[in-house]
Amino acid sequence: MANEGYVDNQFQRMKTNFVDKGVGVILGEFGVISKPNISVHEAYRVYWNEYISQSAVSHQLVPIYWDNGVTGAGGLGVFNRNNNTQAYPTLIQALVKAGN
């Protein structure tokens, strides 16, 4: 879709230079901000976060999604912290699926 090859190449470099030498790699603070004003954004947001997570896991990296607590426009939050619910259940499922 966009830069999948680039991501895979970078993750492979991390695997070769670190993981294969016994050094664990944590991919922290990744995510795609919410842009509800763009009609198809949520589908791409789910796809890209799932892709990043799956590629990281397949390269033996540990992906950590960045939930900044903001579930509206410009936010990375996936949980509504005011009422303890999932703000984006499809995105959460995609992130969990990557580890399976």
> Does 22 map to a domain?
no
Q: How many domains does the chain have?
A: 1
Give pTM, 2 decimals: 0.90
pLDDT band at residue 1 under the 50/70/90 scheme: low
Cα angle value 21/66/62 (rounded, 5°): 20
> Does 7 map to a domain?
no
> Does 9 map to a domain?
no
> Does 17 map to a domain?
no
> Does 6 map to a domain?
no
> Does 100 map to a domain?
yes
Question: Which domain does 42 fall in, by range?
Answer: 32-61+68-100
> Does 16 map to a domain?
no
Amino acid 98: pLDDT: 84
Tell me the pLDDT tens digit for each residue of 13-44: 999 999 999 999 999 889 999 999 998 999 99
> Does 12 map to a domain?
no
Close Cβ partners of 2 (under 8 Å, ≥ 6 residues apart): 48
CA distance 1 to 34: 18
